[in-house]
Amino acid sequence: MSSQQPSFTLFSLLPVELRLQIWRLSCHPRVVEVFYDSEEDRCITTAHPPAILHACHESRSEALRIYKKSFGTKSHEPRIYFCHESDTLYLPRPPLMGYNDDSRSFTELVADADDIVNLAIDHVSPTIRRPWETYNKYALMQSFPRVREVFLVLHDDPEEEDDDDYHGDMDLADPAGDVLDLCRLLADVKESFSYEVGTTHSVGEKDEVVEEPKLPPLVLKSKVTPH
């Protein structure tokens, strides 16, 4: 049995309109993990560039209509290929200080945030969550004006959230586990935001009204990495 991968040698004979449509259809939604390095004021990623950029000149030309170099800073040009309409920006929890002031200020430090529609951040277990993280995560979510929903990425072992050393492409999937437990976890997350961010003001002399924080839709996800 031959170990060579099958190939379609007649692809170049297809009409150009059909070839371009095939190239566009190969641009599937991606999860792009981005880290902001405050010491160097630049963004780095673990994600590989889309393969379509390197297939041939024709595929690259079409891909550059879809993927734009993004996430530049004041001192560094954008270098991460990203499709704002379909890709998900994943901002993992920084290992030392958690979601700190730099995390909260991501959209002020990094360009191209205005067009992000899919955002993913880590769910942080209360056992390791630092006092400032809930508010900073709320501020971070609110700083993306067009975000449609926020994925909260679960970790199998909360104690390993700071030790996730995987580097490469990844995806997000619906989490496994008891549905009621997951619903309770999501309710606890929303309650923590309400407790930390919710404001009160007096009505008359006695009554107080609690204003619930305006949260985007939150969806629990698990990280999936290739074997």
pLDDT in tens, 201-223: 445 555 565 566 788 899 999 99
Flag the least confident range among 69-73, 129-133, 139-143, 161-165.
161-165
What's at 21, amino acid-wise? Answer: Q
Rounded Cα distance between 139 and 40, Å, is: 23
pTM (2 decimals)?
0.84
Is the pLDDT score of 1 beyond 50? no
Rounded Cα distance between 216 and 220, Å, is: 13
Question: Tokens for 162?
Answer: 């700071």
Burial class (CB in 10 A: 0-12, 13-18, 19+), 196: middle
